[in-house]
Chain A
């Protein structure tokens, strides 16, 4: 008898999704669908808007990563209008993007991912959440909250609001950082770096504890998509990079994104299926997000993070890592990089320099592409402007969307492991930290 398994909704997900799994009467996996059930048509209703207002609309795509959705369309309009921004604005944006990366990665690890590992996969669903983690491990909980709080407050300081920022404008930034505020954040850096290291230690302990799972469940060779600047890990600026399953790296300038990124409309998900165009669909399905970013990087931008990347590659034994459960590990390496970048930029006098906006900005007809790396993956805006700077049309390829096909491919792989190979039966699982 054919059996359908439905998970509705998929929880601890930043959006609305369900999972449908079909098993044949012989127990084999027939079909896996990752159904993303919502979309809001931002690409349509930005038409007719002032191009410079798009960055005030699109952050509403995501309450967790509104900052990349503020900065990326700004970059796209600057590309369309051929506007250069002053160096202080570039650094302020880098700082803002990294502040978001820091709070988002801390939130992801502690609030979205950690409950699975700290309580174990068989815990009562009623307890498997961040509230319970905070109750049971108050020290770790307090540290996690202070990390998120630091990142969010820094976002609010530079962006005006931590959620849905407003300070970037075509041509630069509306305002430099206040010196007093800068000093206040600088004072906290030492603690934050310590806590980041501590978080990596917790993460490594989890990886060790669950090594059998990490090394054996969901090891799926795919393509990867990310961004690097001259090969170095960068989340604000750079070229699109594709990594093939066997580790070949291919770079594309943002303007040439259509040569690399194909969008397949599947019948069962509003979030579409992205893939590497030259490899075709579905062969070219890629994954995005933290592990993909690390697979793309020749090296990290900062010393502690680069050391951690080297350690990870040494432990797994390859440069390209296909281990799905290593995404959390990769996220913590990015977390360390973000706090190192923040520490450096907070000491840079440019961030308090009032020369943060190009004053003579003129709209022009044309199209522009902006790319950044959001905490959940590559983020791309292609915006068409008319002569008056009114948006004619837009194409948005958003972060999680880049990962949907890759997630579904991974789910199929894992479903086969679970239902056909009974791979879970012999797995070594640790005693949960929280019982």
Chain B
């Protein structure tokens, strides 16, 4: 796809200088991928410049999404970090070393995620994001996805249209507001439509039933609740950016935005209503965790023959390849980390360290881990015992996300 792109600024690869970007009219560039954490004043300036010049900004990678490991520096006053590097390092030989200041940008006091500095339109998390996600995002931007909005809704060509409609049986189905023309035809297997083909221009009469169901979301089954989440992610176009695996930080968007904002224009009012009802539901339920975690995609056995009786350190012994790390005694951030990576670390026998971000925000992640681990896994420790055996709680549970956790501001 490279030849299809007109790259106008990418210092690591292409020779355009900053002046050439500054010289462009505002909004002249279709899309900007902003990577890296915001550690220096220059980083802030560059982020703002990108926002001015680009119509769409993608927070690219866990640095711009969450601050990444650099955010761990927020534990200290920035001056302590400056002193360690520029005046105290053992190899320094200056008689009175000082922080460099000539043609230097200076440092921000704390690292914050990109969306606290500029408006962000989409997120691609991961450290690094999987190549498939990047390709998927770029293909989308090149106009290969999504399908254009179809006139007719999915119901118009559903095999269960005349008898056996799953929605009428009380299963959440987005057929009435979703574009016809897909090849999956989930209802052919008796499954509901999750809305993955995007909204349609016209809606089916059954939309009333759908609206009623989402208005009473509390009474939905847990499977249906998960579909709510997936639908909204699709509606906001986030998974399209992120490879259809919920890796875009939809939850963060939902928590922040008051109203649904989809890149698709002129939606039927019924569709808007369904989406905004779901948005409010997700936003108002702080404990909403019907979101895939790394454990959901992990091939290891949970409920294995192993049981955690004490917290083991990663250097101890060698875990077997079959049983859950936690049950073998090791700290693994899988249960508190969003799915999307496909379990790359686990495949080489290393526990998850959380680079795709959290499934719940602004809570004490170490406590959340201890809570989840002691409830859903073979762990013979109490929550308190587990916590007391974690010597580096922040480093384990917030390695990539400390900067995004408002509890630590």
Contacts and interface: CB of A to CB of B under 8 A. Distances in A.
Interface in B54-74: 63, 68-70, 72-73
A128 interface: yes
B39 interface: yes
Contacts of A267: 98, 100-102
Nearest to A158: B348
A428 interface: no
A275 to B, nearest CB: 8
B350 A167 contact: yes
A389 B314 CA distance: 11
A38 B12 CA distance: 14
Given A52-B314, A174-B318, A11 B11 contact: yes
Interface in B14-53: 14-19, 37, 39-40, 42-43
A359 B312 CA distance: 13
Contacts of B285: none
Interface in A48-84: 48-50, 52-53, 56-57, 60, 63
Nearest to A388: B391
Nearest to A277: B93
B90 interface: yes
Contact of B3 (A131, A171, A262): A131
A8 B17 contact: yes
Interface string B78-89: 001110111101
Interface residues of B, number: 70
A397 to B, nearest CB: 6
Interface string A1-43: 0000001111111101010100000000000010101111111
B119 interface: no
Interface in A259-298: 261-270, 272, 277, 281
B23 to A, nearest CB: 13
A175 B348 contact: yes
Contacts of A40: 37, 39, 70, 73
Contacts of A20: 103
Interface string B314-327: 11111001000000
A218 interface: no
A50 B90 contact: no
A347 to B, nearest CB: 22
Contact of A268 (B92, B100, B348, B399): B100
B17 A258 contact: no
Contacts of B90: 258, 382, 395
A382 B90 CA distance: 9
Given A40-B73, A265-B97, A53 B16 contact: no
B318 A357 contact: yes
A52 B345 contact: no
A144 interface: no
B353 interface: yes
B186 interface: no
A163 interface: yes
A48 B392 contact: yes
Contact of B15 (A11, A158, A160, A169): A11
A76 B158 CA distance: 62
A381 B5 CA distance: 40
Interface in B379-409: 391-392, 394-396, 399
A126 interface: yes
Given A33-B103, A261-B91, A135 B3 contact: yes
A273 to B, nearest CB: 10
B93 A60 contact: no
Interface string A380-400: 001000001110010101000
A361 interface: yes
A91 interface: no
A130 interface: yes
A37 B40 contact: yes
Given A45-B72, A129-B15, A264-B93, A167 B348 contact: yes
B395 A52 contact: no
B98 A126 contact: no
Contact of A129 (B13, B43, B313): B13
B129 to A, nearest CB: 10
Nearest to B78: A41
Contact of A134 (B2, B11, B92): B2
A161 B12 contact: no
Contacts of A125: 15-17
A351 to B, nearest CB: 14
Given A129-B15, A395-B91, A174 B348 contact: yes
B269 interface: no
A39 B85 contact: yes
A98 to B, nearest CB: 18
B75 interface: yes
A39 B84 contact: no
Given A50-B392, A174-B349, A261-B91, A45 B16 contact: no
A332 interface: no
Contacts of B171: none
B12 A13 contact: yes
Given A174-B318, A263-B89, A48 B75 contact: yes
A264 B94 contact: yes
A397 B93 CA distance: 14
B265 interface: no
A399 B66 CA distance: 27
A223 B2 CA distance: 41
Interface string B333-371: 000000000001101111001010000000000000000
8 contacts: A52-B314, A125-B17, A161-B128, A169-B314, A169-B350, A263-B89, A361-B315, A395-B91
Given A166-B344, A169-B315, A361-B315, 18 more contacts: A35-B104, A39-B39, A44-B76, A44-B85, A45-B72, A53-B314, A53-B396, A126-B16, A131-B5, A169-B350, A171-B315, A174-B318, A257-B91, A261-B91, A263-B89, A265-B98, A267-B98, A395-B91
